[in-house]
Chain A
């Protein structure tokens, strides 16, 4: 009987275990919690690995070709489609995707759940144009090199013997 009484007395004076929230700030999530996705387009290399490993197909890539041949690549993550498994972040070799500890993903509009970022992929420099004479010259050079090599090979066994 006595231990119960003791427990009852201590419980009477302990502070309640109920969290104060929503009065005041929301408490911090646990360490390594996987919450809202953050995407850094500056380091992304558009390898597409994240899209390949995402089970619910949560991200979506738009490729828009600009006038000068560059490509504008936009990644869009829909958080209402994500299962927060962290696979994309694990497989991203550039650490462009991270899962933050922000878990307050509450909203009334679809835009509240969109994480997006875009970057410009430069087009490769145009190939230098060669004139027919230049090509013929290069061909001749290659032939000469080949002939010299063959001659050297033909000489080699003699040197051995």
Chain B
């Protein structure tokens, strides 16, 4: 019974941890704008958390630079299962305009599973909200599978 209660409460309020893996800041600004009153993702229970240990959804932006690669991996190791990884913008999926640079070590698929991706440079906040909504659905399913 308690499990169900916990599951239901967690499904209603997925917490987000945002990793900047060398992004140009465009995507980060848009993710923050999603939490402002105009788009107000907090009305769906999304909340930015300061520590990966409390996160349900990890949002990664940027092309994974050599400097951030190990930090990204360390962050991902601390996130409790199950979690959903959202790739924000074109950078984590392909490197975007930084593709082939000596200082990046992407794409993100190399380091973790990517469940939802949003294309755009930067994506519009509405698209980010839609991606987070999709991530919540996937998270629910993952949790259900884990309980089996």
Asked whether B134 lies within 8 Å of A106 as measured between CB atoms, the reply is yes
Asked whether A113 lies within 8 Å of B119 as measured between CB atoms, the reply is yes
Asked whether B121 lies within 8 Å of A108 as measured between CB atoms, the reply is no
Asked whether B115 lies within 8 Å of A103 as measured between CB atoms, the reply is no
Q: List the A side residues contacting B124 at CB < 8 Å.
A: 29, 103
Complex Cα spacing A108 to B118, Å: 9
Mask: chain A, 1-31; 1 = CB below 8 Å from B; 0 = not: 0000000000000000111011000110100
Interface footprint category on A: 20 to 34
Q: B40 within 8 Å of A by Cβ?
A: yes
Asked whether A103 lies within 8 Å of B120 as measured between CB atoms, the reply is yes
Given contacts A56-B94, A80-B93, A83-B96, contact A18 B120 (CB under 8 A): no
Complex Cα spacing A19 to B124, Å: 13
Nearest CB to that of A82 among chain B residues?
B90
Asked whether A57 lies within 8 Å of B121 as measured between CB atoms, the reply is no
- B40, B94, B131: the one within 8 Å of A106 (CB): B131
Q: A81 within 8 Å of B by Cβ?
A: yes
Q: List the A side residues contacting B121 at CB < 8 Å.
A: 82-84
Main secondary structure on A side of the interface with B: loop
Q: List the A side residues contacting B93 at CB < 8 Å.
A: 80-81, 113
Distance to closest chain A CB from B134 (angstroms): 6
Asked whether A106 lies within 8 Å of B38 as measured between CB atoms, the reply is no
Distance to closest chain B CB from A25 (angstroms): 10
Asked whether B94 lies within 8 Å of A78 as measured between CB atoms, the reply is yes
Mask: chain B, 70-101; 1 = CB below 8 Å from A; 0 = not: 00000000000000000100100111110100
Nearest CB to that of A108 among chain B residues?
B116
Complex Cα spacing A36 to B40, Å: 25
Q: A97 within 8 Å of B by Cβ?
A: no
Q: List the B side residues contacting A150 at CB < 8 Å.
A: none
Q: B48 within 8 Å of A by Cβ?
A: no
Complex Cα spacing A19 to B41, Å: 10
Q: B29 within 8 Å of A by Cβ?
A: no
Distance to closest chain B CB from A149 (angstroms): 59
Asked whether A105 lies within 8 Å of B127 as measured between CB atoms, the reply is yes
Q: List the B side residues contacting A57 at CB < 8 Å.
A: 99
Given contacts A17-B37, A18-B38, A113-B119, contact A27 B126 (CB under 8 A): yes
Nearest CB to that of B87 among chain A residues?
A80
Q: List the A side residues contacting B115 at CB < 8 Å.
A: 108
Q: B117 within 8 Å of A by Cβ?
A: yes
Which positions 108-148 of chain B face chain A at CB distance < 8 Å? 115-121, 123-124, 126-127, 129-131, 133-134, 138
Q: Report B's interface with A, CB cutoff 8 A.
A: 37-40, 43, 87, 90, 93-97, 99, 115-121, 123-124, 126-127, 129-131, 133-134, 138
Known: A80-B117, A104-B127, A105-B120. 10 other contacts (CB 8 A): A22-B129, A56-B94, A56-B99, A81-B93, A81-B95, A81-B99, A83-B96, A103-B127, A107-B116, A108-B138
